[in-house]
Structure 1
Amino acid sequence: MSFESLGLSHNIIKSVRKLGFLKPFLIQEQTVPVILSGKDLMGIAQTGSGKTACFVMPILDKLQNEEVKKDRNIQVLVLAPTRELVIQIDEVFRAFTDNLKREIRTMAVYGGVSINPQMKGMFGVEVLVATPGRLLDLIDNKALSISQISHLVIDEADKMFQLGFEEEMNRLFSMMPATKQTVLFSATLNDKVEEIKSRLTIDPVVVEIKQNEVDLDKITQIAYHVTAETKGPFLRYLIKEQDIKQALVFASSSRSADHLAEKLKKNNIPATAVHGKKSQGSRSGNLQDFKEGETRILVATDLIGRGIHIESLEVVINYELPRSPLDYVHRIGRTGRANESGTAITLVTDDDLPHFRVIQKKMGKRIEMKRTDGINLHGY
């Protein structure tokens, strides 16, 4: 199935191509047409399954045809439980806005930072991605209104109540209009999610995608303990000394990906970066060169990495750790496919150690940690 067959407009398809996505994920195939039709939806899918684009694409597609409203009434509200997820969702919205019929302002708001810039920047925002607590703070300060929203999205709905947001969610629900499209995404369909459906008085179309388990037994996982200063030189040493023919390297940001690719090239290692800030032609070309073996190292961010499907990729390298353990599994799942073995290498600094322990605990596997302090990195 193609993205065109989902009913998306040419404007959205252009962004899809620019991001380098070749075909929709299963969850996207089954949910995008439902959201485009205006029906309420409950999507059950694991993190890393492509679910954020499920609601981003059709909502922006519909919003671009609506009249611009320059006020403090939000049109689309996306609620998520953590600052990290809010930032990630907002990045996906921004990645899909380049080719729309008109400009659509999106904004991410969360606690732990000054509220004043968020209050000042709220005028004219149409898509707001927020944590419940900070959203209520902004509403209490008259910075915005959610009384006229046309679309409500609750991402990771199963976690919203586990993390103690129940009272805040009840307040927010009471401020929303009765008529709106509601989209819920969850990793599991538990009692609390059923309760949310009842409280919102919706009878959504339910789409459940069973998790495609990554066969961890087919992936050899190795971690190397490095310092922040030796991480780059050690990566170059590793690629050369182990004669790694081709590898997908994950970085945490577009800037980091570009910097890393440039450093590799300066050290005579053919490398290129793909991320949301690259042009469509550049991204598609770089991705194709890697798939055809023309490029030795492809440095990618998580957003773009989800669209990379290569059946016989031998090595994945985590230059920087992902935000969640599930994202880690999704990353290393790029290798060890089609009944072939693969290798996942992770570079870990002292600052990374607590998070890396959490990843191993969630995954149920202990990863061998190798020291690197005795390696001569001069010249790398």
Structure 2
Amino acid sequence: MPFTSLGLSPALLKALVDQNFTVPTPIQETAIPAILSKKDVLGIAKTGSGKTASYVLPLLMNLQQSNLVKNRHADVLVLVPTRELAEQVKNVFQDFSRSLPQPIKTMAVYGGVSINPQMMGLQGVNVLVATPGRLLELTDSNAVHLSGIETLVLDEADKMLNLGFQDEVNRILALLPKKRQNILFSATLSDDLQHIHQILLHDPVVIKIAAEEVSLDLINQVAYIVSDEKKGPFLRYLINHHEMKQVLVFTSSVHQADAVVNKLRKNNIDARTIHSKKSQGARTEALYLFKTGKLRVLVATDLMARGIDINFLPFVINYELPRSPKDYVHRIGRTGRADTAGDAISLVSHHELHHFEVIQKKMGKKVTLVDSENIK
């Protein structure tokens, strides 16, 4: 099914061509017509399924057909759990809205940065992408009003509830008009989400997209036994010996991520971290540089891994093993994509060996284990 059959305007179809969108994903095929018809939608789909465009495109088209008022009453509210996702969603709205005849103003608001510029920028906003806590701060200050919201989107709703935002979400819902379109996207349908779904959605179009399995066959896995104190030098050896130009390194803590980057940079290896303690600007810049191939090493924690989607990432290194086998598969699944093989390397200390056996058993795949002392 082509995009031309989904009811989108010529301007949006041109924007899709300009951005190299060829055919709609399964979630886009169903969600776009439903949202254009102003129906409620419940979408259960993993990251990478194309869900953001599936609501951005029809919402932009519906806004083009509305009488937009230039004030502090937003028309569309998108609630997200993290600053990274807020920026990503804002960028998608802005990328597609550039081709539209009627200007659409989109703004992302989140904590961790000064609130004053956000307060000043909210005049005339049409689409507001927000994390719950900062949105409540702004509404309490009368910087934005939610009484004119026509469409509410809860993106990654499961993650929002898991991170403890339920009370904030309930407070926000109380500020919204009762008559509105509701769109809810989630990776899973948990009990908490089922409760929110029953409260929010009226006769929704339900879309369930099966999660794409990580193809372990495309990932060349190897593990090295390395003592904790020698992991730093051995990591540098691997990067230089294999002439790695783009490598994603995982650590289990913010402190360790910073320590790894400091040692790499002291040894003239260009590296940056991406984790929750970094400013939004620093995270955005690091991710952009890495995705565009201008940064050699990106060191990340598991919390930040969801935003790192690169089709042709050649190397992933586990500096430390994650707590669960599921997280291990998610980490190494950053490579071996788009039918292109990739390498996943794990540095395993002696006290991690038993845990690594458990990971291999759960994964159903044996990994070659090499003693780093034998490599010179």
Give the TM-score normalised by the residue count of structure 1.
0.66
Identity %: 43
Shift of 1:65: 2.8
Alignment of 1:255-334 (within 5 A): 257=291, 260=294, 316-317=314-315, 331-334=334-337
**Equivalent residue, structure 2, for 1:102:** 102
The 1:147–1:62 alpha-carbon spacing in structure 2 relative to 1, beyond 3 Å, is same
Q: CA RMSD in A?
A: 3.9
Q: Distance in 1 between matches of 2:187 and 2:244?
A: 37
Shift of 1:194: 1.9
**Equivalent residue, structure 2, for 1:12:** 12
Q: Distance in 2 between matches of 1:141 and 1:28?
A: 37
Q: Distance in 1 between matches of 2:130 and 2:159?
A: 15
The 1:212–1:38 alpha-carbon spacing in structure 2 relative to 1, beyond 3 Å, is same
Unpaired segments of 5 or more residues in structure 1?
A: 240-250, 264-300, 320-324, 349-356, 376-380
User: Do the aligned partners of 2:45 and 2:209 also contact (CA within 8 Å) in 1?
Assistant: yes
The 1:164–1:22 alpha-carbon spacing in structure 2 relative to 1, beyond 3 Å, is same
The 1:66–1:342 alpha-carbon spacing in structure 2 relative to 1, beyond 3 Å, is same
Aligned with 1:32: secondary structure? helix
Shift of 1:40: 0.2
The 1:234–1:13 alpha-carbon spacing in structure 2 relative to 1, beyond 3 Å, is farther
Alignment of 1:79-118 (within 5 A): 79-118=79-118
Matched, 1:59 2:59: yes
Query: What is the identity, as a one-letter code, of the residue corresponding to 2:178?
Result: A
User: Do the aligned partners of 2:41 and 2:201 also contact (CA within 8 Å) in 1?
Assistant: no
Q: Distance in 2 between matches of 1:55 and 1:29?
A: 11
**Equivalent residue, structure 2, for 1:145:** 145
Write out per-residue CA displacement over residues 251-270 of structure 1, whole angstroms, 9 at most, x where no aligned residue: 96445555639x9xxxxxxx
Shift of 1:45: 0.3
Shift of 1:111: 1.0
Shift of 1:124: 0.7
Aligned with 1:237: secondary structure? coil
Q: Which has the higher contact order (CA 8 A, sep 6+)?
A: 1
Q: Distance in 2 between matches of 1:133 and 1:367?
A: 46
Aligned with 1:69: secondary structure? coil
Unpaired segments of 5 or more residues in structure 2?
A: 225-230, 246-284, 297-306, 318-326, 348-355
Q: Distance in 2 between matches of 1:83 and 1:370?
A: 41
**Equivalent residue, structure 1, for 2:265:** none
**Equivalent residue, structure 1, for 2:341:** 342
Alignment of 1:230-249 (within 5 A): 234=240, 237-238=243-244
Query: What is the identity, as a one-letter code, of the residue corresponding to 1:8?
Result: L
Shift of 1:38: 0.8
Q: Distance in 1 between matches of 2:11 and 2:335?
A: 32
Matched, 1:184 2:184: yes
Aligned with 1:260: secondary structure? coil
Q: Distance in 1 between matches of 2:120 and 2:31?
A: 35
**Equivalent residue, structure 1, for 2:165:** 165
The 1:203–1:347 alpha-carbon spacing in structure 2 relative to 1, beyond 3 Å, is same
Aligned with 1:220: secondary structure? strand
Shift of 1:16: 1.5
User: Do the aligned partners of 1:48 and 1:327 also contact (CA within 8 Å) in 2?
Assistant: no
The 1:159–1:256 alpha-carbon spacing in structure 2 relative to 1, beyond 3 Å, is closer
Q: Distance in 2 between matches of 1:207 and 1:148?
A: 27
Q: Would you tell me which structure has more helix in proportion to its own residues? A: 2
**Equivalent residue, structure 2, for 1:202:** 202
Shift of 1:58: 0.9
Shift of 1:316: 3.2
Query: What is the identity, as a one-letter code, of the residue corresponding to 1:260?
Result: K
Q: Distance in 2 between matches of 1:367 and 1:31?
A: 44
The 1:110–1:41 alpha-carbon spacing in structure 2 relative to 1, beyond 3 Å, is same
